[in-house]
Each structure stands twice: as structure tokens, then as C-alpha cells.
Structure 1
Amino acid sequence: MGKLVWLSVLAVALAALVGERLITLRKVTLAFRELTQNHLPNCQLIKGLEYGSEDVTILENGLALVSTGLKFPGLPSNPDIPGNIQLIDLRVGVNPVVLPIKGSFDTASFNPHGISVFTDEKDGSRYLFVVNHPHGGSQIEIFRFDEDEYTLLHIRTVKHELLQSVNDIVAVGVDSFYATNDYYFTNHILRTLEPLMSLTWCNVVYYSPNEVRSVSEGYPSANGINISPDKRYLYVSDILRHRIGVLEIQKDHSLTHIKDVEVGSIPDNIEVDPETGDLWIGCHPNGLKFVLCNPNDPPGSEVIRIQNIHSEKPVVTVVYEDDGSVLVGSSAASPYKGKLLIGTVYHKALCCDLQ
């Protein structure tokens, strides 16, 4: 009889724990949020970007680079089409073209995720850093971007045990970068337990040929990352806490946490306006819908702008919001001369007027 009592107590305790964890998971995924419409004028879906535009970055001359075709477990994708990098010249329109890749590189397994461009001040050379997940792993590809011929030359692949589940990257040299890990485990079953158990084992890693180390820790999941125009600060999407972390870069490449800015949404990739320093963030207003991917009840999209992030009272503004009827699962937003380019994880891309 005593054994049955203990088993009953254990079952009740386990049920209570599971229930509490599920309630917590609903909170961190913002499952309670109702999606609304807050559209910008003159929005048009971009033809040619049909299978995602996960990350978007726009150079000062109006050339936009877009990573597309991401294949991620549990999310819709086209398995027959490899991922690629596409270019849009916003000075002449919104017509994307695929950038050919030169050099020794397996394009058939290309699965691009976050991207970052570094410009070498010595000679003006452009380098494109791409998070790649061939065969489910994580590695960084470094390309040289030829703006005249619209081509990418593959230079090297970077692998390291600390780069186990890279989501996004910001380049700080021709062969150095900071990268975020969005999961601690590489096993997909164990990954599902991380948000359920509220684990905070994810981090930011600094990489150079001479040094690789974790420089910021304690994230349930670290997502988008970018750098301030003066190169003094990094911004990191702390997605399950619905905030952007501000970290100061030290001389030894370590990071000092300065503060967090709440955004009230699940922040994905971050773009930084080089002139104003404003942050533009593609967000998921309801994470549960994003995970479920129900075409009859699609996840929506949200774009948030943060102005004066280093002040005592940063201004957080919802610039665009959609219930999924137009755009599903926005992951990036980048402005250029009155236009806003919005990317998605696996859906399409949208270009709108900001005025």
C-alpha cells in the first residue's frame, strides 16, 4: 500500500511539473498574442524569393544580399532546391538574382542561415560570412563578394566544436567574427527539451584563427546578432526573453553586458542603420504558431524598430505587423532610402515604403 501511495504522489508531482512547464512554454512563446494588421504603404511581394529570405543585409550602395532556401527540422522547405544567396539592387528595383559561387564549394548541400558582410578598409574588398548547415551541422562559409561581376568566391570553411548550433553571425575582420548558438544540444530530441526545461546554456562565441572562446553566456536561445556603427557594441536577440541584449566589446574581444531592451515580441535577426544607429528587427509575434506552421492558422510577422538604444529611454516602435495573411514568419528587416525589405524564415519577402 505504501508503494502505491508513493507512486501516486510521484505521478501527481510529475503531472504538476509538466503542467507548469507547459504554462511557462506558452508564456515564452507568446502563445496568447492575437495577431493584428499594421501595414505599410505600397508593399509588394518579391518574385523569385519563394522559399524564404531568412537574413537580409543591405550595403550602403543599395545592394541587398539575401540568404534563401533554409532547411530546418520541423519547418516547411523545398528539399529539391539547394539554398543560395540572392542579390537585389534596390537602386533599380526589386528583382533578385542568384549569386554564382566560384571555387571549391559544395553548392548541392548549401543551407544558408544568418549572414554578415565585412568591408576591408585597406582595399575595399567585401567578404560575405554565411552560417551554413549542410547535412544538419553548423559551419561558417567565408566568401569574397565581387560587386562588379555579381559573384561569390569561396575562400574557406570554418568549423569548431564551440560553433555547434550557429544561428547568426557578425563579421569583425576578414577572418574573425562573433556568432550566436541557438541550441546547446545537437540532438534534435534533446533540443526540444531545452525550452521546455528553461535551460540557459546557449552563448555567443568569438572566433579568430588565433582564438576561439565563449564570450557571453546564459541565454535560453541566442539568435540575431549585429554591431553598432562605431564598432563598440554588439546587439543580441535573447529571443525567449523577448529582449535585445546590449554588450560592450572589450579590447580582448570579450563582452560586457550593459543592459537589455524589452521588445514584447520574439526577436530574430537584427539590422543596424549605419547612419542613425537604429535597430531594425524581424520578429515573431506568436512563437507557438510559428512552431506549429499551420497553413490554416499561419504565424504572423512583425517588424520592430529601436531608436536611441543607448539612452535611458530607448524608443521601441512596431513598424509593421501582419496576421499571416500576407507574410509568414518574418525574420529580418532592413531599410534603405525610404524602403523596407522584410525577410522570412521559409515564406516570401516583402518590400514596402516607409513613408
Structure 2
Amino acid sequence: MARLLIPVMIVLCGMTWRLYELLDFGRTVYNHRPGACRLVPGIDKGSEDVDLVREEGIAFVTSGVVFMQPHRAHVKGKIFLYDFNQKLGGGAPKAKELPIKGASFDQNNFHPHGLTHWIVNGVIRLYVINHSNDFKHSVEHKKSIKSPLFVRPNDLVAVGPDQFLLNNDGVAQTELGNVIEILTFYRGGSVVLWDGKEAHTVLSGMGGPNGAAFDAKNNKIFISEVNKRKVNVYDISKDKKTLTQVSSFDLYTVCDNLSMDNDGSVYCGCHPKINEAAVALNDCDGVSTSASQVLHMRFGEDFKTIAVSEPYANDGKELSGSSIAVVHNNQILIGSVCRGLLHCTIDDPSVL
């Protein structure tokens, strides 16, 4: 019996330590900014994803996500437009709520999550992940796109006209099921290609694939894997149906959504203390807060090396639960899962 007890105790101690590390107990976040920061007025129910249209100097923002939280079904889903070309002066930065038209569109069941765009003949086409009040999933475009392979979509990235890669960050459809997935290290995540007509699974067995970004110049896909605290780099095949891993990097933090910069680097909004995030993201309308962090990742020419810097970090008092960061025109927008949208100026590009 004693001989059996010792290995059991070793395994339990190992699992306990891994869980302690996973939840970031004992980690300290030190506040710093790239410049002056102000919350964007009118956005207080989340700015979970921000998609930059660099050619126009504008960004679209999703607000009001309900992710396995039926008690928040009353929150109205919205899409905002932020113009990086606006003159700020001493006033607050402004975002405009966009009207959503369509007689057949059910706005009461609209809770936008990730979004992406593709420009066709000068027209910006948006693709927006939507969760209904009863947690059914679709991608809203000119029409609602649905597939049994859209299991638990979190983020997506356009890779062509009417083509996108979509990340399912797991399989559970309830908060409890999601916790069990995380604690058991179950790899139920997948990446799905929508080719314009149907969906195809291109990656499976992943540990919480979340954010995605596409580098069209170098034909690379970047995917953050939250349960592994990694960012992965892939080559994408011509038909978009095959992703071949090039590299994988440990970030030692939970990175949410990704955005591409015009120099080929990648920004990410992260959750540096997941124990705080687990509480705060289930208390969106309460007082709980969680730390925020922005990482900037620069890759070597072969995408097998990485240099990482931290342009922004906060203990959660200024911005709680950061999920995305987008940089343009010496400005940075930092979104959050269910709170505000933070605008910061970049006083010196070297801080990036």
C-alpha cells in the first residue's frame, strides 16, 4: 500500500503545482503605459475584439459578448466604429455605434465576439462571430453562416473573399464544462476553414485556440493557444485547407486576440493573472477586476525566433480583462472582454 501511495502523492503534488502555476497565484503586475490613456466614452459592456482597416485608418469594435453566461443575455450586442484620424486635442476619443440593418435580423439574439474583414472592390466586408441567448453560434456577414463545425467559436480571420479561419477554443457549452476542460487539460480546440460554401476542420486537438492573425505577405497564420500559453506560427497552403506548423513560442501568459501590424509584427491583449480573470469575467456587471497586459511580438525572418516586449500593463484598476490591442497612427486601442475600451497615445515608438 505504501509503495502505491508514494507515486500517487507525487502525481497529486505535480498536478497541484501545475494548477498553482496555471492560475498565476503569486504573480505581480506592475503598471506602465506608452503615453496618456483614456477610456473611450459610451463603451462599457466590452470591446472584446477590435479589427483595424489600415487603408482607411478606422477600426471596428465588438461589444456585448455573452460567452457561456446566460445571466448576461440582457446585454445588447453592438458594433462601434473608431476613427484613428479624428483630432483628439484635449478632448476624449470618440467611437460611433453603427446601426445594424436588416428586417429579418434578430438583434435580441446578437452578442458579437471575434470579427474580421476583407475588402472586395473597395467595399469592406465584415465577418462577425455571434452567440445567441441560448449559446447557438453563427458568423454574421451578408447572411448568417452556420455549420456543425462552429462548436465554440471565439475568433476568426479572413484569408480571402468569403473565406475565413475560425477558432473553436473548446467543446463545452457551459461555464462548468469549460472549467473542467481547463483543469483536466483536455485538448478539444480546433481550427476550421470556411471556404465560401462549407466548413472544413484544418487543426484539432488544440489547447484553447483563441486569437488569430493572417500575414498575407509571408503567407503565415498566427494562433494563440490560451491553455498552453503559446503563440503558434503556421504556413497556410494555397487552398487554405492545410496549416503546417513553423514554430511555437511560450509566452508565460494567457494571450487572447491577436492583431497584425504593418511591419509583420503581432500585438496581443493578454490576461496575466488568470485567477483574477476567472472571477472578473464572470462578474462583468460587478466590482471584480482583473489585470491587463499588451504584448508586442517581433519574429525573425524564418519565424523561428521571437522578441517580445510589453507596451502596456495594469493591475486592472484602469482596464480590466484586456483582450486585444491594435496600433495605428501613434495610437493604441486596448479592448476588454466585458468592460471599457482604452485609448492610449504612443509618446515614443521605442516603448513598443
Q: Which of 9, 22, 30 pairs up with 1:36?
A: 30
Q: Aligned-residue CA RMSD in angstroms? A: 2.5
Structure 2: give runs of 5+ residues left out of the alignment: 348-352
Q: Which of 222, 239, 263 pairs up with 2:251?
A: 263
Percent identity over paired residues = 27
Q: C-alpha displacement at 1:174, in angstroms?
A: 3.1
Q: C-alpha displacement at 1:264, in angstroms?
A: 2.3
Is residue 70 of structure 1 aligned with residue 65 of structure 2?
yes
Query: Taking structure 2 as the reference length, what is the TM-score of the superposition?
Result: 0.87
Q: How many Å separate the matches in 2 of 1:207 and 1:66?
A: 22
Match of 2:350 in 1: none
Q: How many Å separate the matches in 2 of 1:160 and 1:17?
A: 40
Return 166-175 or 337-346, whichever deviates more.
Answer: 166-175
Is residue 227 of structure 1 aligned with residue 222 of structure 2?
no
How many residues align structurally? Answer: 332
Q: How many Å separate the matches in 2 of 1:324 and 1:188?
A: 23
Q: C-alpha displacement at 1:315, in angstroms?
A: 1.2
Is residue 125 of structure 1 aligned with residue 123 of structure 2?
yes
Q: C-alpha displacement at 1:15, in angstroms?
A: 8.6
SS in 1 for 2:311: strand
Judging changes above 3 Å, is the alpha-carbon distance between structure 1 residues 107 and 52 closer, same or farther for their aligned structure 2 residues?
Answer: same
Q: How many Å separate the matches in 2 of 1:160 and 1:14?
A: 43
Correspondences of 1:87-166 after superposition (within 5 Å) = 87-92=81-86, 93=88, 94-103=93-102, 104-120=104-120, 123-134=121-132, 135-142=134-141, 155-166=142-153
Is residue 281 of structure 1 aligned with residue 268 of structure 2?
yes
Match of 2:230 in 1: 243
Match of 1:150 in 2: none
Q: C-alpha displacement at 1:125, in angstroms?
A: 1.6
Judging changes above 3 Å, is the alpha-carbon distance between structure 1 residues 261 and 28 closer, same or farther for their aligned structure 2 residues?
Answer: same
State the one-letter code of the partner of 1:241. Answer: K
State the one-letter code of the partner of 2:220. Answer: Y
Structure 1: give runs of 5+ residues left out of the alignment: 143-154
Q: How many Å separate the matches in 2 of 1:71 and 1:211?
A: 26
Q: Which of 305, 329, 337 pairs up with 1:337?
A: 329
Q: Which of 192, 200, 205 pairs up with 2:192?
A: 205
SS in 1 for 2:30: coil
Q: How many Å separate the matches in 1 of 2:291 and 2:157?
A: 27
Is residue 315 of structure 1 aligned with residue 307 of structure 2?
yes
Q: C-alpha displacement at 1:59, in angstroms?
A: 1.1
Q: C-alpha displacement at 1:353, in angstroms?
A: 1.3
State the one-letter code of the partner of 1:245. Answer: N
Q: How many Å separate the matches in 2 of 1:238 and 1:307?
A: 18
